[in-house]
A and B are shown apart, each in its own frame.
Chain A
């Protein structure tokens, strides 16, 4: 059974930093690109970032580029999202996901809440 378990969310002041982690199990982690998606209160889903299976390539939404860094440790089956220079508008539930719609792949974590507020 595929499981994705996020951790590391919490309350951070504007301008602060936080790192989210996602522990994966039930599939060959290194074979899949992994994605972060967020759901902001009162707003919709936003695709945030993706890292390829080997970690060699990363892509970001324009809203987070230069502030967030996605990475992975395939030896630990863990995905990360380092978030710096946080803003109030980054407040959201962050989902770790193994999604590749074109290949009918659709696995999501339960979400981790980040609140950016003073």
Chain B
């Protein structure tokens, strides 16, 4: 199963609403997760099962979608959100990450 993520990068301001999308090449139900990776750090799970917020993750992060189209939304961008975000299809093996979206500030 291929996963296509867009955009590859974006530039936004503090407080902006940010949306990142992933599209799977076939129906994966809700078996999609979102990760955040800051430079020099291990990835961190933000959203699992397409829309469930991982414990300890701020509520400004949310996920939606099912089937083939999925979205990660940051409702009000904060300075600490500068990172690269990846989706991961965990529907079957081999699992696959999206290409990543680098979020930077204007």
Contacts and interface: CB of A to CB of B under 8 A. Distances in A.
Contacts of A100: 90
Q: Is the interface of A mostly helix, strand, loop or mixed?
A: strand
Interface string B22-56: 00000000010101010000111100110010110
Interface in A88-118: 95, 97, 99-102, 104, 106, 108-111
A44 interface: yes
A46 interface: yes
Could you say which interface size class chain A belongs to? 20 to 34
Interface in B81-106: 84, 86, 88, 90, 93-100
A108 B43 contact: yes
A109 B93 CA distance: 21
B48 A45 contact: no
B99 A99 contact: no
Interface of A: 37, 39, 44-47, 50, 59-62, 95, 97, 99-102, 104, 106, 108-111
